[in-house]
């Protein structure tokens, strides 16, 4: 039987060298892959009633993987998309393993033959102009957290940034003098420049000044009440909180399944009537 050290060495080299150095994977992708393997190895440990430390390559069979994927959907209640993300991480490992251990090529091919599951695409919900207005109006800007939440939501509405782009946003990424813009680091380490409306730039500039945050600061801009950077889950909570509160004034929000990605699908301001201005939506001194 294959030594358990073979599995340990393969996983170590996969995460320590292959993914970051040869593939150039981002830290967020590495974390996602690590989460997938932690779940898979824990499942194998429970299935086989053996400690994780004594598992070996022979234990990573197609049968075990199929049961693991079913466990994700049935027990953990993961969506098909999440199931496919976990499978993609394991596929990547076995493609790497096939080059490291060519004698295991058949084993790797069997794992790689396990297909991704087709998922039903949900309709993407989005926010209308008056719904954005209602969400922003409900924020209590007199409190420290409320002011942070307002600046966070305004920035997301303006840029249509992904949630990870927002939590990674640093003051040094902001250009708050004309031409106003922000540099966002997206998927695959791709950078893009997004224009800021003058009202947004003024709001963010006032936020930095009030909190005495240097414009060249390299740390994430948005932080929780403990001073640590906000997480994706923190942003999701903030959006859900204000959308829930705004339902009393805007009942249409009740029927919508909203999340941070919804910010990328709102009705753009350029399609609104000429009587609507960004200053009306984002009052600087409200």
Considering 67, 236, 249, 264, which one is annotated as catalytic?
264
Tell me the CA distances in angstroms from 259 to 126, 221, 238, 246, 249, one per residue in order: 9, 21, 10, 15, 19
List 64, 71, 236, 261, catalytic entry = 261
Give the C-alpha separation, 193 to 62, whole Å.
Answer: 44
Give the list of residues 6+ apart from residue 64 with CB closer than 8 angstroms, or none: 43, 44, 47
Q: Which of 95, 187, 189, 192 is catalytic?
A: 187
Whether 77 is catalytic is: no
In the annotation, is 18 catalytic?
no
State the residue for tokens 């990424």. Answer: 173
From CA 156, how far away is CA 231, in angstroms rounded? Answer: 14
86 labelled catalytic: no
**With contact defined as beta carbons under 8 Å apart, do 180 and 196 qualify?**
yes
Query: Can you tell me whether residue 93 is helix, strand or coil?
Result: helix
Residue whose pair of structure tokens reads 């251990």 in the numeric block = 101
Catalytic residue check, 261: yes
* Set 162, 170, 247, 250: catalytic member: 162
Catalytic residues: 162, 187, 261, 264
């Amino acid at each position: 039987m294959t030594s358990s050290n073979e599995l340990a060495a393969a996983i170590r080299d996969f995460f320590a060298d292959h993914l970051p150095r040869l593939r150039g994977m981002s830290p967020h992708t590495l974390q996602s892959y690590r989460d997938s393997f932690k779940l898979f190895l824990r499942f194998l440990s429970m299935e086989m009633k053996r400690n994780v430390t004594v598992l070996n390559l022979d234990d990573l069979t197609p049968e075990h993987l199929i049961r693991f994927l079913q466990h994700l959907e049935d027990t953990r209640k993961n969506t098909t998309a999440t199931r496919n993300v976990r499978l993609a991480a394991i596929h990547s490992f076995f493609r790497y393993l096939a080059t490291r251990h060519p004698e295991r090529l058949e084993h790797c091919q069997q794992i790689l033959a396990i297909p991704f599951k087709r998922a039903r695409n949900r309709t993407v919900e989005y926010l209308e102009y008056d719904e954005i207005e209602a969400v922003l109006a409900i924020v209590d800007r007199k409190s420290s957290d409320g002011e942070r939440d307002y600046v966070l939501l305004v920035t997301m509405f303006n840029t249509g940034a992904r949630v990870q782009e927002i939590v990674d946003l640093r003051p040094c990424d902001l250009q708050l003098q004309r031409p106003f813009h922000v540099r966002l680091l997206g998927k695959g380490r791709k950078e893009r420049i997004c224009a800021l409306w003058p009202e947004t730039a003024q709001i963010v500039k006032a936020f930095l000044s009030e909190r005495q945050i240097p414009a060249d600061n390299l740390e994430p801009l948005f932080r929780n009440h403990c001073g640590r950077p906000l997480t994706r889950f923190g942003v999701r909570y903030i959006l859900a909180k204000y959308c829930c509160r705004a339902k009393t004034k805007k009942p249409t929000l009740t029927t919508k399944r909203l999340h941070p990605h919804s910010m990328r699908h709102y009705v753009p301001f350029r399609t609104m009537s000429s009587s609507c201005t960004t200053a009306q939506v984002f009052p600087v001194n409200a």
